[in-house]
Structures are given as C-alpha cells and as structure tokens.
Amino acid sequence: MPATSMDGFLTVGPVRALTATEVGLPLPSVPGTPSPPLPTSDPLAEEYEGPRLGSLQQLADVATDPDLKLAAQLLDDGFAGVIYAGLPGTGKSRTARRVAIWLAQSDPSRYKMIQFHPSYQYEDFMQGFVPKADGEGFSLQDKHFVEMCNQAEKAYPKIHVLVVDELSRVDPSRVFGEALGFIEQDKKGQKFKLSSGQELVVPDNLVILATMNDRDRGVDEVDIAFERRFARVEVAPSPEALENMLTENGVEVDLRRRIGDFFRFLLRHANPEVHLGHGYFARVRDLASLERLWNYQLLHLMRRAFRAIPNESELAAIKQQWQRVITTPAAATPAASAEPEPDAPAGESGATALS
C-alpha cells in the first residue's frame, strides 16, 4: 500500500490503478440509460446570469485616500486588476493589502493574500491532484484561484479580492492557464473549462491585485498578453513617507533631517541599483538602530550595487555621505573654545565602521 511521508511526498510502494472518478475523467454512459440532451448553445460562450457590478464608481467617489480612489477608478475603467510595481521597500505589498481590505469592507473572508515563488505551478494556483489522507490514490483539489472564484460567485455581488505578491517570480500565463483569457472585465462571467474538464466562471465581483519587484529578474519575462490586462501603478520611494515613518518611530528632528538628506542623495545617484525604498528605515528609532541598519544591511546593498561595474570612488562617496548621517552636529563642528580631547580608544567614537 503506498504511503505518504511527513513532507507530503509519496514513498515507494505497490502501484494501484486509479479509477476514472479519482482522476477527474467523465464516466461512460451505462448501457440502457438515455443519453443526456445535447446543449442548445456553446456552454463556453454562455454568459453568467446575474446583476453587473456597479459599486466601484461609488467607491471611487467616496474615497479620500488617493491609493484607494485610484484603484477603484482603474477597476471601474475595466482593467482585470492592478499591478503595484516598484523597488523593494516602497510599500507595494502594504498598498495592495490596504486596497484589498478596503474593497472587501474589512471582511477577512472576502480577501486572500498569496505569494508566488519560482516553483509555483498551475497545480498550486488553479487545480491539482493531491494524495488522499489515507494514502489510497489521489483526489482533485481546488486551489486559491478556483476557491476565490467559487466563493465570490456564491456571495455575489460583494467584492472579493485576491492579492498575488511577487507576481514576477513566475510566468503568470503558465500559472493562470485557461483563466488568463477570462479575467478581463468583458470576459468575466463566461463559463470555460479547466484542464480537468470542470467548468469555472470568473465572476465580475472578483478583483485581482498583484505586486511586482522592479529588480526581480522575471520582470522582463512577464507575458505581455498578461500584463496588458492589468493597470500598472508605480510605487516610488518617498522622502515624505520616510519622514512620517521616522516621526512615528520617535526619531529626533535633526537625525530625521540627516537621514532624509542621505535618502535623497541615494535617489539622485546615477547608479539605479543604489536607490532604496523608504521601508528599509522602518526599524530605525535612534542612532544605535540606524548604525545597525547600515552595518548589517545597507552596506551590503551598496557593495552589491557596484558588483557588476566596480567603482570604488563612488562607493567611497556613499560611505562619506553616510558618515555625515551618523556624526552628530556637535561632533562634526566642535566649539572653537573647547579643550582638545585625548584620542578615544577604537570603537568609542560613536561612528560606524565604513569599510
């Protein structure tokens, strides 16, 4: 008897023939029973019967948050969904989550967040065969997208939202499969068949939001046929968001100013790999936490930015600019009347090593 290991993989065991029902194949007619009537129209072109979604414009009219208003407007324009793209740390996932919660009216049963990864497949997203709990063969199981479609259809016309994080980690056309042609607003509501032969409807109250990392190698490989169905919103690094974040964290005014100057310096740099999202500074609360951020994350990112085209002088300029951030004004410009201090032992100056 085949068994299933703790990690979900089948172990070696006797092979058993699967029934047609177990693999999702239609059963032949039993002799002597009448054949089912032929359809009078093409079931794949049959329109979903139900009221059309008409609340997005109303949501756009009442929204005061610009991110929420824009999302509602784009969806009301007929886009299949919205892709939030940008550098790491710009708040793409947070924005998508906020929009999803707002559209779903804070009902957790009406929105779901999933994350793609390089090994993600159609069988993980649409439908796939999984081992039965007793180890006796396999059963066809609906996955995230099919589950959300069915749930949204049952709860029509309440808006349901599926958020796909890290869209560019996969080939979306391969993962969405047959559903790719039916996520457009003018195609939603039409029945189509999955690879299993089962029918599915993408109801027009299902919204798809996604995030895309501009530095992900898969960005340029996202199928144009997929991307053209979505609106693309660029989420840029924001000095204003950085200032608000540091203020909420209780960072003192002068240190906030110096961090902001350094952040804008990076955004102006000719090497785009140097540019950072403001989210990298989310854990900064004082000078000590700022120094740890540099030592254990930012310095590594700066070195990696010049890995393809080494430029020691540019890297040195960034380190020099950072020195201005962590050097307090009193230490940088001592009073002329102050007595000269003896040399401090190594590691007691308060400055971070920049090597």
| Beta strands 81-86 and 230-234, pairing class | parallel
Angle separating helix axes 66-76 and 92-103, nearest 10 degrees: 70
Say whether both 229 and 280 belong to one domain.
Answer: no
DSSP 177: G
Q: Considering all CA atoms of the chain, what is the largest pairwise distance in Å, rounded to the nearest integer?
A: 110
Say whether both 216 and 263 belong to one domain.
Answer: no
Residue 158, C-beta contacts closer than 8 angstroms, at least 6 positions apart: 105, 107, 110, 152, 205
Residue 92, C-beta contacts closer than 8 angstroms, at least 6 positions apart: 84, 85, 86, 211, 212, 213, 235
- Tokens representing 250 are 């209780």
- Asked whether 266 and 274 are in contact (CB, 8 A), the reply is yes
Q: What are the distances in angstroms from CA 244 to CA 174, 240, 253, 280, 281?
A: 40, 6, 11, 14, 11
Percent of the chain with pLDDT over 90: 60
- Tokens representing 83 are 């892709």
Say whether both 250 and 302 belong to one domain.
Answer: yes
Evaluate if residue 125 carries a pLDDT over 80. Answer: yes
Beta bridge mates, 16: none
What is the pLDDT, as a whole number, of residue 151? 97
- Tokens representing 194 are 């999955």
What is the pLDDT, as a whole number, of residue 288? 97
Rounded distance between C-alpha atoms, residue 351 and residue 51, angstroms: 65
Amino acid at 19: T
Residue 165, C-beta contacts closer than 8 angstroms, at least 6 positions apart: 93, 96, 113, 114, 115, 116, 210, 211
Structure confidence by residue, pLDDT tens digits, 163-215: 999 998 888 889 999 999 899 888 999 999 999 999 999 999 999 999 999 87
Q: Where among 234, 260, 295 does a domain terminate?
A: 234
Outline where the chain has alpha helix (H): 56-62, 66-76, 92-103, 122-125, 144-154, 172-176, 224-227, 239-248, 253-267, 287-293, 299-305, 312-326, 329-332
- Asked whether 274 and 262 are in contact (CB, 8 A), the reply is no
- Tokens representing 138 are 């396999």
Domain assignment present for residue 286? The answer is yes
Rounded distance between C-alpha atoms, residue 321 and residue 132, angstroms: 60
Number of domains comprising the chain: 2
Owning domain of residue 300: 239-330
Evaluate if residue 351 carries a pLDDT over 60. Answer: no
| Beta strands 111-115 and 160-165, pairing class | parallel
Count CA within 13 A, CB hemisphere, residue 96. Answer: 33
- Asked whether 256 and 248 are in contact (CB, 8 A), the reply is no
Say whether both 198 and 220 belong to one domain.
Answer: yes
Structure confidence by residue, pLDDT tens digits, 274-284: 999 999 999 99
What is the pLDDT, as a whole number, of residue 19? 46
> How confident is residue 303, by pLDDT bands cut at 50, 70 and 90?
very high
The more confident residue out of 124 and 331 is 124
Say whether both 107 and 229 belong to one domain.
Answer: yes
Rounded distance between C-alpha atoms, residue 113 and residue 181, angstroms: 22
Say whether both 143 and 186 belong to one domain.
Answer: yes
> How confident is residue 77, by pLDDT bands cut at 50, 70 and 90?
very high
Q: Where among 201, 234, 267 does a domain terminate?
A: 234
Say whether both 91 and 111 belong to one domain.
Answer: yes
Say whether both 266 and 157 belong to one domain.
Answer: no
What is the pLDDT, as a whole number, of residue 227? 84
- Asked whether 128 and 135 are in contact (CB, 8 A), the reply is no
Say whether both 130 and 184 belong to one domain.
Answer: yes
